[in-house]
Amino acid sequence: MIRAAVVAHPIDFAAMVSEVAHEGNGATSMFLGTVRSDHDGKDVTGIEYSAYEEMATSEMTAILGEARARFGVEHAAIEHRVGSLDVGDISIAVVAATPHRDACLNAVRFIVEATKARAPIWKLEHYVDGSREWVNAGSGNR
Amino acid sequence: MIRAAVVAHPIDFAAMVSEVAHEGNGATSMFLGTVRSDHDGKDVTGIEYSAYEEMATSEMTAILGEARARFGVEHAAIEHRVGSLDVGDISIAVVAATPHRDACLNAVRFIVEATKARAPIWKLEHYVDGSREWVNAGSGNR
Amino acid sequence: MTVTVLLFASYADLLGRTTLGLDLPAGATVEHVLSEVRLLPGASLLPPSPLVAVNRSYALRTTMLSEGDEVALIPPVAGG
Amino acid sequence: MTVTVLLFASYADLLGRTTLGLDLPAGATVEHVLSEVRLLPGASLLPPSPLVAVNRSYALRTTMLSEGDEVALIPPVAGG
């Protein structure tokens, strides 16, 4: 199974790990992105994530398909959250399970990087001083 | 915090993710090893893991220290389970959290590979036909 | 023909709207949509070559449009 | 001096035991321990150069031992 979703509720990463479990898999890899308390030296109070949801879902689904073709990953899931997130909240979760470890480690990195590069998702950071700013990918949010 | 342990109970990976959480971290990476239903074409019913526990703990603690030096990882944990595991059970969990994603992705891979290469831990596989065999690292268990 | 233009995030802020209906001549391309959008108040701050998606796939400026297409201007993405 | 030898996994199976006390001359090295272990029944199936740890750190065959040291023969590891 592969599954990609944009969600408006807190991400349950443990459920996603269960979802990719399969008795033929010996390795599971996961990545979580969380809201940090600072960005380029500014104190962050929260992030408002928004997305072009239908396209983000189809783009992430395509990325999972590419991961299957490149790494042989048959069990993978990705969820990206939208809405108002506080510091520490999970914004993205990627999980992949494979028979051996190299494939899932490589696949998770690929899926995370491709999603950050291609999925139409944006974040508006809120700072302690009350200001807000649209974050530009590449401006320190790796 | 860094923490390494050999445990005789089921591994609670969600608790480990909470353990490495810190408001300055924007990225968390995790690896789980699970018992597969087959090994080199033989049907596996379970694995008996054993360890030189004190040395495995100190070797894994040293590996986490090396990950800190190499990748700047301040929050990481590893647990390796011993005893009788069934297919699907988690044998090893590695989690690391860092401000940015590259460090934790690289660190988890390093910690997993170093642990497999250096920690004095062994596995006795039980097969459907009733036979048992000590698994030799490198013989297909990557 | 009619196409729907979607605006998101910083572009929606710049233009003060999230959607826009456009009536275009047959054979119009993404370039035509961009030309129309640039006539809107606030559009001077759009980058020279914004990313565009047609029907939820990234598209070129020369991509031909059809009746009912959904054309989205995609600000620099920042997911993750 | 006395050292404790620990055997694990396949080596414990081969030698039919998990621990062994050895009385060695002062200045003895890991090599001496290996020589003694090779006298045990079943030891012919040990590899020519097994990994050894002294006091929970990997050690060389030339590592000198002290009273009370814990010397472990480490079969090929297979954790993970």
Return the percentage of chain A with pLDDT > 70, whole number. Answer: 96
CB contact under 8 A, D78 and B136: yes
Is B77:B95 a contact under the CB 8 Å cutoff? yes
CB atoms within 10 A of CB B32: 26
**With bands split at pLDDT 50, 70 and 90, how would you rate the model's confidence at C58?**
very high
CB of A20 within 8 Å of a chain B CB? The answer is no
Tens-place pLDDT, residues A39-94: 888 999 999 999 999 999 999 999 999 999 999 999 999 999 999 999 999 999 99
B84 strand-pairing partners: B48
Closest by CA position to A27, among listed B117, D27, C62, D80: D80
**With bands split at pLDDT 50, 70 and 90, how would you rate the model's confidence at D15?**
very high
Chains contacting A (3 or more CB pairs within 8 Å): B, C
Q: How many Å apart are CA A47 and CA A91, to the nearest integer?
A: 9
Is A120:A52 a contact under the CB 8 Å cutoff? yes
DSSP state of A69: H
pLDDT at A142 over 50: no
What is the pLDDT, as a whole number, of residue A140?
41
pLDDT at C67 over 60: yes
> CA-nearest residue of chain A to B102?
A142
User: Which of A32-36, B39-43, B75-79, C68-72 bottoms out in mean pLDDT, i.e. has the lowest?
Assistant: B39-43
- Give me chain A's average pLDDT, please: 95
| CB-based contacts of A113, cutoff 8 Å, min separation 6 | none
> CA-nearest residue of chain B to A27?
B33
Q: How many Å apart are CA B26 and CA B52, to the nearest integer?
A: 35
Give, in order, the Cα–Cα distances in Å from D67 to each of D1, D25, D36.
5, 10, 17
**With bands split at pLDDT 50, 70 and 90, how would you rate the model's confidence at A137?**
low
Please list every residue in chain C whose beta carbon sits closer than 8 Å to the beta carbon of residue A134.
9-10, 13, 75, 78
What is the pLDDT, as a whole number, of residue A139?
47
Nearest CB partner across the interface for D78, out of B54, B55, B141? B141
CB contact under 8 A, B121 and D78: yes
Q: Looking at this predicted complex, what is its ipTM? A: 0.94
What average pLDDT does the segment B12-16 reach?
98
